[in-house]
């Protein structure tokens, strides 16, 4: 009979220590920026596409990308792949940007892109952007 009381007290004490320890540890938690990408710039100037995808929460993010250039309802060029993003500004020809051979770009064409990555919680996140060529 006394053995059960002793074991119960030991388990209660261990549970109390665990809970108090968790509260103590929880008070020392440092919050960090979420792992994310943000489209800071997408521009077309002088036959080049200027893109800046900013990164937070890590030095780099491995993500999927897709880029397309449309003229009305006709797809001129497009492609996609996987890249490591480090938050650098990039300047690319339309063919480099889409990963395929593009014809000459004209006013009114629309360039669009999307990016997807997995955040720290394992959730797939995404951003996109589009510009109309002037």
The residues with which 65 forms a beta bridge, in sequence order, are: 81, 115
Least confidently predicted of 30-34, 39-43, 44-48, 112-116 = 30-34
Here the tokens at position 70 are 């449309």
Judging by DSSP bridges, how do beta strands 124-132 and 110-118 pair with one another?
antiparallel
Helices (H), the chain: 2-27, 94-98
- Residue 90, pLDDT > 60, answer yes
Confidence of residue 120 (pLDDT cuts 50, 70, 90): confident
Residue range 57-77: mean pLDDT, rounded: 97
pLDDT at residue 6, rounded to an integer: 47
Mean pLDDT of 50-75: 96
Spatial CB neighbours of 40, under 8 Å, sequence gap ≥ 6 = 52, 53, 54
Give the pTM. Answer: 0.75
Mean pLDDT of the chain, nearest integer: 85
Torsion of CA 95, 100, 106, 107, to 10 degrees: -90
- Does residue 77 carry a pLDDT above 70? yes
Q: Residue 92: which pLDDT band, with cuts at 50, 70 and 90?
A: very high
* Residue burial 50-80, b: 16+ Cβ < 10 Å; e: rest: bbebebeebeebebebbbbbbeeeeebbbeb
The SS3 assignment for 17 reads: helix
């Amino acid at each position: 009979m006394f053995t059960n009381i002793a074991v119960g007290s030991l388990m209660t004490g261990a549970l109390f220590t665990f809970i108090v320890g968790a509260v103590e540890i929880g008070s020392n938690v440092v919050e960090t920026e979420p792992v994310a990408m943000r489209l800071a710039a997408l521009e077309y100037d002088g036959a080049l596409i200027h893109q800046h995808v900013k990164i937070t929460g890590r030095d780099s993010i491995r993500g999927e990308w897709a880029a397309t250039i449309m003229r009305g309802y006709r797809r001129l060029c497009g492609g996609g792949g996987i890249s490591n993003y480090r938050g650098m500004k990039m300047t690319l020809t339309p063919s480099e940007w889409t990963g395929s051979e593009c014809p000459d770009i004209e006013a009114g064409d629309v360039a669009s892109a999307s990016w997807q990555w997995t955040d720290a919680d394992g959730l797939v996140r995404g951003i996109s952007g589009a510009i109309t060529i002037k």
